[in-house]
Amino acid sequence: MERTICLLVAFDGTDFHGWQLQPELRTVQDVIEQAVRRVVRHQVSLIGSGRTDAGVHAAGHVSHFVTTCELEPGKMRHAIGARLPKDVTIIALREVHPLFDARRSAISKLYRYRIYCAPGRPVERRLQRYTYHFWQPLDLERMRAGARHFIGEKDFTAMSATGGVRESMVRTVLRCDIERHFDEIRIDVEGTGFLYKQVRNMTGTLLNVGRGLCEPDQVAEILKSRQRANAGPTAPARGLCMQWVRYPPHLLVPPEQTEVAEPVNDVNDALAT
């Protein structure tokens, strides 16, 4: 009997060439699939919630696979986890509804970009792998004013990778929050989906606003122009992390389970129970 298994994982993306399988390159999908195959003893195709770029990290990446293996979830998690490299870990594993799809079922995702904003380098806090060092002072109020122009359903062509044309360049950003934690500035972007390098280009544009190279209201003009050249530079991958993905609660339980899960802020809560 086939079962749909959902994985919640975290990984340090520094030494990976992104999530997606690539010939002769080390990717997150490849190392997890290899570990899963050794446990379930048949071929699997892992479907991920997002294709993170090379160097991008994840605190809550979700994927799923279909298996006929009868191992109970706790033992399966332990067996797969023991076969993963040290820069990947399984936070939770559970059987879910057959209609669950890690990519298509997602309601929203949150990415966090971390900027180490101080004269000294982030290595003094052991953060050099996970933050972008920006030594110049940044005006957070200006950045917040600029970030407001990203919220809503908009054409994000100007924030996409050059030449990265999709069937639709319209995406919905639900919020773009900017907070400071000591020497670290965090930009949290939640949306229903993102274009290739969208969050990193949004960050680069907000950095230009924060350092006074453009006015906050110019962000709206940049979006309307649909020209990538008008936006800021692409922020480095190392500062970006996929924090969580949100799903309809009823898809996070197997079909025979009659109890419907309560609404949750993210899949981490549901999978951890």
pLDDT at 165: 62
Check 12, 15, 30, 53 and give the catalytic one: 53
User: pLDDT tens track of the chain, all 273 residues?
Assistant: 899 999 999 999 999 999 999 999 999 999 999 999 999 999 999 999 988 999 999 999 999 999 999 999 999 999 999 999 999 999 999 999 999 999 999 999 999 999 999 999 999 889 999 999 999 999 999 999 999 999 999 999 999 987 656 678 999 999 999 999 999 999 999 999 999 999 999 999 999 999 999 999 999 999 999 999 999 999 999 999 999 999 999 999 998 774 544 444 445 565 544
Residue 78: which residues within 8 A CB-CB, separation 6 or more?
none
Q: Tokens 């997150």 map to which residue?
A: 28
229: domain range? 108-242
Q: Quick check: is 12 catalytic?
A: no
Radius of gyration of the chain from its Cα atoms, rounded to whole angstroms? 20
Do residues 198 and 114 share a domain?
yes
Task: Find where tokens 């709206």 sit.
Answer: 220
Cβ atoms 209, 219 nearer than 8 A: yes
Number of domains into which the chain is organized = 2
Helix (H, G, I), strand (E, B) or coil at 28: helix
Burial (CB count <10 Å: 0-12, 13-18, 19+), residue 70: exposed
Residues 225 and 127 in one domain: yes
pLDDT for 171 equals 96
Within this chain, do residues 54 and 173 fall inside the same structural domain, yes or no?
no
User: Are residues 206 and 163 part of one domain?
Assistant: yes
User: Are residues 139 and 62 part of one domain?
Assistant: no
User: Do 26 and 87 have their domain in common?
Assistant: yes
Please check whether residues 77 and 31 belong to one and the same domain.
yes
Residue 163: per-residue pLDDT: 66
Scored b (16 or more CB within 10 A) or e, 79-90 reads bbbeebbebbeb
Same domain, 139 and 17: no
CATH label of the domain that carries residue 268: 3.30.70.580
**What does the alpha-carbon distance between residue 259 and residue 91 come to, in Å, rounded to a whole number?**
23
Strands of 30-133, DSSP E: 47-48, 57-67, 88-96, 108-116, 132-133
**pTM given for the model:** 0.92
Q: What is the CATH number of the domain that holds 126?
A: 3.30.70.660
Mark whether 138 and 72 lie in a shared domain. Answer: no
- Are residues 127 and 194 located together in one domain of the fold? yes
Is 98 in the same domain as 183? no
pLDDT for res 162: 76
Strand-pair category, 132-133 with 108-116: parallel
CA 99 to chain centre: 22
Start-to-end CA span in the chain (Å): 24
pLDDT at residue 267 in the model: 54
If asked whether residues 112 and 101 sit together in one domain, one would say no
CA-CA distances (angstroms) from residue 255 to 4, 128, 160, 184?
10, 44, 39, 44
